[in-house]
Amino acid sequence: MDGSLMLWDVKPFCASESRMVRCYIGATHNFEKNLLKCCWSEDASLISAGSADRTVNVWDVKTGDLKHRLGGHKGSVNETSINGSFIASGSSDKTIIVGKLEN
């Protein structure tokens, strides 16, 4: 609900005091309070998440940099999926958009 996506270290014995590895900022939430799911790319280099502002956010896992902000939906984006260089997103507007990610 705070507009962040967190990566946590869940190993039984964590080397550092903080288990949070990285925080990805950019996905927003609104009054709908929908569950906004995230998705890892097959090679674990990208992570994507939907957003209440009708966009899909794609971050570089290692650096935390926002690589893509993709629009096109008319409602909250609730789920995303990355398969190779293709990304799909499903929205509250009852549409699915499939596109290709450019490097």
3-state secondary structure (DSSP) of residue 61 = coil
Question: How many Å apart are CA 84 and CA 101, to the nearest integer?
Answer: 9
pLDDT score for 3: 64
pTM over 0.85: no
pLDDT score for 91: 92
CA distances from 67 to 5, 14, 59, 73 (A): 15, 29, 5, 19
pLDDT score for 38: 84
pLDDT score for 28: 63
pLDDT score for 29: 62
List of the chain residues with pLDDT < 70:
1-4, 14-16, 26-35, 103
pLDDT score for 102: 82
